[in-house]
């Protein structure tokens, strides 16, 4: 199959890392189904030649019917070569004060919705094999104050990645978790550009710089372009060495 005929669905492609992933995949000539709440695709400047490789679908990842409809609309017509579960939220609070509703909101969007999107994509991916890339976080392996729900949700993404990789390997579906460190986006711009987190980054990231959405997008797109069958089930950290630095 030509690259131009391979369709990859990306959740949360409206902005941040998801928009960068959609555009990088389009740059590499894939067709990209942008699954976003407003159905407008990346809400940033996009060159017309890239725009023509993007399809827009309305999708709230917390609404199973909406996920099913979006993937059906893409998969039934064009088939599905890949899925990137990127949509995510970050809510923090001291654990002793975090109400259950906040905890569940984070788990729902960052973990449960990853499971439901994988399940809904399965019939289309299983037809000819394909790749799922889940966007996790290096917070999956460390303890972070005020971040119990977020850390737990991203650890769940790593666990689901391993389980699905094992369960669906016989269908030619590989499943990977790309786990970024600090990347400047709307999720954290205020915190990363000023104040104590900025000082922390200067001390803890060996290169003293956070990543960019394009760094993450290039790794994700390379996983699709290279298509290495023996690589599956792994969490691949991309954090400037933050997670391994002493």
Residue ranges that bind ligand NAP, judged by CB under 6 A = 11-12, 14-18, 36-37, 59-62, 86-89, 109, 135, 137, 180, 182-183, 185-188
SS3 76: helix
Q: Is 150 known to be catalytic? A: yes
The span from the first CA to the last CA of the chain, in angstroms, equals 46
- Other C-beta atoms closer than 10 Å to the C-beta of 5 total 12
What is the DSSP annotation of 110-154? IIIHHHHHHHHHHHHHHHH-EEEEEE--GGGGS--TT-HHHHHHH
Shortest Å, Cβ 19 to ligand NAP = 7
Give the nearer residue to ligand NAP in terms of CB position, either 5 or 43: 43
Give the nearer residue to ligand NAP in terms of CB position, either 63 or 171: 63
- Other C-beta atoms closer than 10 Å to the C-beta of 195 total 10
Shortest Å, Cβ 101 to ligand NAP = 15
Catalytic site residue from 103, 122, 124, 150: 150
Shortest Å, Cβ 235 to ligand NAP = 12
Shortest Å, Cβ 212 to ligand NAP = 10
**Closest alpha carbon to 138 in 245, 236, 21:** 236
Shortest Å, Cβ 170 to ligand NAP = 28
Residue 185's contacts (CB-CB under 8 Å, 6 or more residues apart) are 15, 16, 17, 213
Give the nearer residue to ligand NAP in terms of CB position, either 10 or 80: 10
SS3 49: helix
Host H or E run for residue 75: helix 64-78
Give the nearer residue to ligand NAP in terms of CB position, either 5 or 199: 199
Query: Using CA atoms, how far apart are residues 193 and 184, in angstroms rounded to an integer?
Result: 8
Q: Are 8 and 57 in contact (CB under 8 A)?
A: no
SS3 237: strand
Give the nearer residue to ligand NAP in terms of CB position, either 122 or 150: 150
Any idea which residues carry the catalytic annotation? 150
């Amino acid at each position: 199959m030509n690259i131009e005929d391979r369709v990859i669905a990306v959740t949360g492609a409206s902005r941040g890392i998801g928009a960068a992933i959609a555009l990088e995949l389009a740059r590499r000539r894939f067709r990209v189904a942008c699954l976003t709440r407003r159905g407008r695709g990346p809400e940033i400047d996009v060159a017309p030649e890239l725009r023509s490789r993007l399809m827009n679908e309305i999708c709230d990842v917390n609404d199973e019917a909406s996920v099913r409809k979006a993937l059906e609309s893409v998969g039934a017509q064009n088939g599905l070569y890949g899925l990137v579960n990127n949509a995510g939220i970050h809510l923090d609070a001291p654990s002793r004060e975090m109400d259950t509703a906040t905890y569940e909101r984070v788990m729902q969007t960052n973990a449960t919705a990853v499971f439901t999107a994988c399940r809904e994509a399965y019939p289309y991916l299983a037809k000819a094999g394909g790749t799922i890339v889940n966007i996790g976080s290096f917070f999956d392996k460390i303890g972070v104050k005020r971040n119990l729900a977020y850390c737990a949700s991203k650890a769940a993404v790593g666990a689901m990645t391993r389980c699905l990789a094992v369960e669906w390997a016989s269908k030619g579906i590989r499943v990977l978790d790309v786990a970024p460190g600090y990347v400047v986006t709307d999720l954290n711009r205020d915190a990363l550009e000023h104040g104590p987190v900025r000082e922390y980054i200067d001390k803890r990231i060996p290169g003293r710089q956070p990543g960019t959405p394009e760094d993450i997008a290039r790794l994700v797109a390379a996983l699709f372009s290279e298509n290495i069958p023996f690589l599956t089930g792994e969490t691949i950290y991309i954090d400037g060495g933050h997670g391994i630095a002493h």
